[in-house]
Amino acid sequence: MSKLIGRFFFKLTDSKNLIGEFSNNDSKRNYTESAVLKPREPDEVQKPNEGKFIGVYFSTWYEEDEHSCVLAELKIEQKYENIFSLTWWRVQDRKTAADPFFLGEGILCDGILIGDYRHVPTS
């Protein structure tokens, strides 16, 4: 099992996008992460019980060590009532990586998704 490397929170905006902050084992401060809800495919139908935060997003943040911005695809799924699983895949050259980059879990607290994440080791 991967060790904990970071923690995050996300707030849902009125336009169904996400804004939040994260930090990790190497950082001495918080960083901003934002995510835009990815449009559904024409044949995808929203399930009646899908709640807040559930969906696929394009997420961005700044990597201080690499001095670069990162684009990722973020999928948020409901695991249990008010408990969510999050998966991030890097996006490069308009292609989503086959293997996830980070895995996380979050809980809802006063309408804010709060959780932790781990780096997925490459095989």
Residue 115 pairs in a beta bridge with: 8, 106
Residue 75 pairs in a beta bridge with: 56, 87
Q: Which backbone phi and psi does 93 adopt, to 5 degrees?
A: 50, 40
Per the CB < 8 A criterion, the answer to whether 3 and 114 are in contact is no
Q: What is the mean pLDDT of each run of 10 residues along the chain (123 residues)?
A: 81 94 88 91 57 92 87 96 95 95 96 95 74
Closest to 83 measured CA to CA, from 106, 56, 55, 117:
106
Q: What is the pLDDT of residue 26?
A: 80
Q: What is the pLDDT of residue 2?
A: 55
